[in-house]
Each structure stands twice: as C-alpha cells, then as structure tokens.
C-alpha cells in the first residue's frame, strides 16, 4: 500500500485577505463536509477583528449563516457557527444586532407559514439560541443599540 503523501503547507491568515475568506465562506458555507464547515467558520472568526472587515461584511456573513439553520445538524458545525456569531456580537455589536434581528424576522415570517414539524422547530430553536447569545452580549454593552431595538427583537420571538 503505497500512499502518495501530499505536502501540507500552512498558510498564515495575515497573508489572506478578508475578501478571499468571505468569497470562500460564501462558496463553502453549505458544504456537506463538517471539517470544511469548521475550517471556514474558523477563518471568518479570525478575520472579524481586522480593519477591512466592514459592516457590509457583517451583514453578508449573517445572511449566509441563516442558510445553515436547516443544514447543520451536527453539534460541531453548530458550535462553529455560534462562535462566528459570538465574535461578531462581541466586536461589531450594532451591525450584528440589527442585521440578525432583520434577517431572523424574515426567517420567522417564513417559518410561521410552515406546518409544525421537528425540522422547522429545530431551525427555530437554533435561531432563538443565536438571538439569546447576541442579546446577552449586546444588551448594555453598546450605546448604539437602543432599548427599542430590543423591544423589536422580543416582539417577533
């Protein structure tokens, strides 16, 4: 059994641009490979503190993360997504909060139209977990997030 060995070279994250990571994230976010999911989420987490990671990038990442609600069933992938959301909420509180509320309001409006089942309940419960994480990190930590925004959040839950 001769197996061909592949040279594994490590890439320094500072050599990769935020745009490259976001393009790869958009292409790989719905991959069936758990290992790839975790790697790409980890790459996004490493890019969030960078100056080039704009509010538009926050909005784009959150919109793509909503696609994972119905696809990621394993604990490790869901934990990787939650790490991205926590990092976004910690470092970019206002755009994360506002985008997550608006995106999940759309998601919730769609979920209400579906007949109750285990799958849609699981997706809704995961979304609620995201909201709880963001609310606990953002409430009181940012002056930009007003009390009215939290009332809006609670109103659609």
> What number does CATH give the domain 13-156?
1.25.40
Does the structure show a pLDDT above 60 at 6? no
Hey, what are 27's tokens? 């292409």
39-51 confidence digits (pLDDT tens)? 999 999 999 999 9
**Whole-number Å distance between alpha carbons of 14 and 120:** 39
Cα 29 to Cα 34: distance, rounded to the nearest angstrom:
10
pLDDT confidence of residue 142: 56
Q: For the segment 78-97, what is each residue's pLDDT rounded down to a tens digit?
A: 999 999 999 999 999 889 98
Cβ atoms within 10 Å of 3's Cβ, excluding its own: 5
Q: What is the pLDDT of residue 7?
A: 36
| 114 pLDDT above the threshold of 60 | yes
pLDDT at 2 over 50: no
Mean pLDDT of the 115-140 span: 85
| DSSP designation for 67 | G
The residue ranges of every structural domain in the chain are 13-156
The pLDDT assigned to 105 comes to: 87
Burial of 2 (0-12, 13-18, 19+ CB in 10 A): exposed
Q: With 90 as the cut, is the pLDDT of residue 18 above it?
A: yes
Whether the per-residue pLDDT at 24 is higher than 90: the answer is yes
Predicted TM-score (pTM) of this structure:
0.82
């Amino acid at each position: 059994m001769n197996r061909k060995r592949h040279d594994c070279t490590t890439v320094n994250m500072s050599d990769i641009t935020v745009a490259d990571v976001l393009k790869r994230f958009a292409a790989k976010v719905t991959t069936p490979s758990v290992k790839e999911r975790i790697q790409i989420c980890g790459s996004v987490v490493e890019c969030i503190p960078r100056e080039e990671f704009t509010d538009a990038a926050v909005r784009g990442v959150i919109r793509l993360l909503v696609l994972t609600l119905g696809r990621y069933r394993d604990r490790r992938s869901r934990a990787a997504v939650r790490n991205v959301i926590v990092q976004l909420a910690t470092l970019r509180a206002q755009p994360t909060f506002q985008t997550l509320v608006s995106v999940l309001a759309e998601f919730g409006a769609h979920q209400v139209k579906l007949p109750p089942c285990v799958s849609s309940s699981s997706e809704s419960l995961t979304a609620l977990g995201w909201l709880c994480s963001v609310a606990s990190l953002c409430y009181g930590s940012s002056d930009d997030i007003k009390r009215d925004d939290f009332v809006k959040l609670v109103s659609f839950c």
